[in-house]
Structures are given as C-alpha cells and as structure tokens.
C-alpha cells in the first residue's frame, strides 16, 4: 500500500492479532505514526508520503489499526471503538519492544495517540496531533455536519465512493492517484473489512453514549493537563473542510500549552497534501 523502496512492509503478532505495519528509517529515536479512520486507511496510505522524509531522522513505525484497516486481521474485536484501537496500539509497541517514543496521529489516530499517552505518560516523549475532529469532540467542541464528513461516513463500498472519500480529506488532487484509490479500495473491501469498519463505527457510538464508558472520552480537564506535561504540536490545514478552521481555533484555545501551526493550503490529511512542510515541522519539534 503506497510502498516504496524507503517504506518496509512488516508483520507482527500483537496480543494474538496478526498485525501489519509499515516502517521507514532506522534511527535511534522512534516515532509511532497512527493513521486516520476513513475506510481503507492504513499506516502506508495515511502516512506514506511523509514517512520517507521523517525516516531520514527517525525510525517511523506506522501500524494498520484493527477495525478493518490496512492488512491487519479484520476479525480482531473492537468492542470499545477507539479505546480498543488504543489498546491495540499498546499491544503493537509492546510486541516491538518499544520503551520510549513519540507519537503522531491524524484525525482518529490523534485521539488514539493522546489516549495512549494518558495511559502511559512515562513512555511518551512528544505528541503530534494532525487535524482531528475526534480530539475536538472530546474537548466538548461541536461542529455541524458538512459535505466532507458525509463523504467519509457515506462510503458505500464502491471505487467511486472511495474516490469521493479521498477528495474530502486531500486538497491536492494530484495526490489522489489511481494507485492510492485502488489500494485503499482493496483494503476496504477485502473479506470482513467493511463489516469490521462498520462494527468499529457502532462501537464508537456505543462508547460515546454509555454513561460510564463515555467518561473516558471527555477530556476537557485531562487533555490540557496532558499537553502541559508532554510537549505537544498541533498541525492543522488551512483548507481542511472536514475539521474546519473554526474547530481548529477552538482546539487551540482549549490547549494553550500546545504549539499550534497552520499548514497553508493543506486539507484534513496535512501529511499527504504537504509532506515536506509537515516533515520539517515535525522534525524541528521532535529534535527541539
């Protein structure tokens, strides 16, 4: 999936789950990269353009999440939605023997990165949040539905539906290659994947509405404390129509200790629209 000579395809068994991950670089410092939640997403398709650039300075590990993503076993259970996804992230880094590292996450991946850091603050050096409506929701920030959100939620299993999904989160249309569309479509429609993706969506809603579990997703107090104690960078695209500029500004206001950077002209996948600028900002932050 968007593989190149600079991105290595790897497999590992993480707490019994056959998990695929992509890897770039071999430096001492490790960056765990968590992809977003759109159908067919994966470590390579979500982070593939920025991974070789960051791989010049870090070891970048980008797992395919449970929930029907990438090539990871779609039969893996996700009863608690993104909470389950975070537990899987924990299992992956443990299986790889990673003790201390930084995290970058886009959209839902940013939520998992932050939740992992809340569970294991002693193991996380720094955090990079990339355009995340899920983070905004956990801060109590509401955003009205829009066309980009409908394109993601409304993915119907067709190639045209996948192209609409990608056009909603990537502004630079030349980045939406036939290879990217076909590979994400293949991942999203392999046996069991679409059912797993829909089950993940139902589980997210279950957690959001359960009176006990939902407390784990309300971060108005906890996330400001986290970002005051673990250095955090927030990247947001000025052309993001999925998670709007107004949402970004509200997130920045609630997390005053985080460093906030606009990325001009980028959409929801900042790392895909502007990989060079994204890599420069991340590299400077992690090495600073």
- 249 belongs to a structural domain: yes
Taking only the tens place, the pLDDT of each residue in 161-199 is 999 999 999 999 999 999 999 999 999 999 999 999 999
CATH number, domain with residue 166: 3.40.50.1820
- 1 belongs to a structural domain: no
pLDDT recorded at residue 212: 97
Q: How far apart are CA 180 and CA 224, in angstroms?
A: 36
pLDDT recorded at residue 66: 98
Q: How far apart are CA 70 and CA 45, in angstroms?
A: 8
pLDDT recorded at residue 2: 45
Tokens of 210: 């359960």
CA pseudo-torsion sign 43, 49, 52, 55: negative
The DSSP letter of residue 233 is: E
* Mean per-residue pLDDT, 8-35: 97
* Residue 98, φ and ψ in degrees, nearest 5: -80, 130
Residues 6+ apart with CB under 8 A from 277: 263, 264, 266
Taking only the tens place, the pLDDT of each residue in 246-261 is 999 999 999 999 999 9
Residue 239: pLDDT above 80?
yes
pLDDT recorded at residue 193: 97
Taking only the tens place, the pLDDT of each residue in 85-113 is 999 999 999 999 999 999 999 999 999 99
Q: How far apart are CA 208 and CA 14, in angstroms?
A: 26
Residue 115: pLDDT above 60?
yes
The rounded mean pLDDT for the chain is 96
Q: How far apart are CA 1 and CA 190, in angstroms?
A: 14
Containing structural domain, residue 22:
8-287
- 196 belongs to a structural domain: yes
The number of domains in the chain is 1
Q: How far apart are CA 139 and CA 66, in angstroms?
A: 25
Burial of 191 (0-12, 13-18, 19+ CB in 10 A): exposed
pLDDT recorded at residue 3: 43
Written as one string, the DSSP assignment of 253-266 is HH-TTSEEEEETT-
Pick from 219, 18, 233: nearest CA to 131: 233
Pick from 65, 73, 2: nearest CA to 39: 65
pLDDT recorded at residue 215: 97
Question: pLDDT band for position 4 (50/70/90)?
Answer: very low
Question: pLDDT band for position 228 (50/70/90)?
Answer: very high
Residues 6+ apart with CB under 8 A from 11: 18, 19, 20, 21
Taking only the tens place, the pLDDT of each residue in 136-149 is 999 999 999 999 99
pLDDT recorded at residue 46: 97
* Mean per-residue pLDDT, 27-32: 97
* Residue 99, φ and ψ in degrees, nearest 5: -100, -40
- 193 belongs to a structural domain: yes
- 153 belongs to a structural domain: yes
Residue 5: pLDDT above 80?
no
Q: How far apart are CA 55 and CA 61, in angstroms?
A: 9
- 2 belongs to a structural domain: no
Q: How far apart are CA 31 and CA 15, in angstroms?
A: 21
Question: pLDDT band for position 200 (50/70/90)?
Answer: very high
Return the number of other C-beta atoms located less than 10 Å from residue 214's C-beta.
Answer: 12
pTM over 0.85: yes
């Amino acid at each position: 999936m968007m593989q190149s000579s600079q991105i290595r395809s790897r497999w590992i068994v993480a707490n019994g789950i056959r998990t695929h991950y992509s890897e770039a670089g071999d430096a001492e410092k490790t960056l765990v990269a968590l992809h977003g939640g759109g159908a067919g997403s994966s470590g390579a398709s979500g982070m593939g353009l920025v991974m070789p650039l960051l791989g010049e300075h870090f070891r970048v590990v980008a797992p395919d999440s449970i929930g029907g993503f990438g090539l990871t076993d779609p039969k893996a259970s996700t009863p608690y939605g993104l909470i389950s996804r975070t537990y899987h992230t924990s299992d992956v880094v443990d299986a790889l023997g990673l003790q201390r590292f930084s995290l970058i996450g886009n959209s839902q991946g940013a939520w998992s990165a932050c939740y992992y850091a809340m569970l294991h603050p002693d193991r996380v050096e720094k955090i990079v949040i990339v355009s995340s409506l899920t983070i905004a929701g956990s801060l109590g920030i509401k955003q009205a539905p829009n066309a980009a959100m409908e394109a993601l939620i409304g993915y119907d299993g067709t190639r045209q539906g996948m192209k609409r999904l990608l056009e909603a989160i990537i502004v630079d249309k030349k980045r939406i290659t036939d290879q990217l569309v076909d590979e994400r479509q293949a991942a999203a429609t392999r046996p069991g994947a679409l059912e797993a993706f829909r089950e993940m969506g139902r589980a997210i809603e279950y957690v959001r509405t359960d009176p006990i579990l939902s407390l784990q997703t309300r971060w108005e107090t906890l996330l400001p404390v986290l970002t005051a104690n673990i250095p955090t960078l927030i990247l947001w695209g000025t052309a993001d129509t999925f998670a709007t500029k107004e949402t970004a500004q509200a997130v920045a206001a609630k997390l005053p200790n985080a460093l906030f950077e606009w990325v001009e002209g980028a959409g929801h996948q900042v790392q895909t629209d502007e990989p060079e600028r994204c890599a420069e900002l991340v590299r400077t932050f992690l090495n600073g």
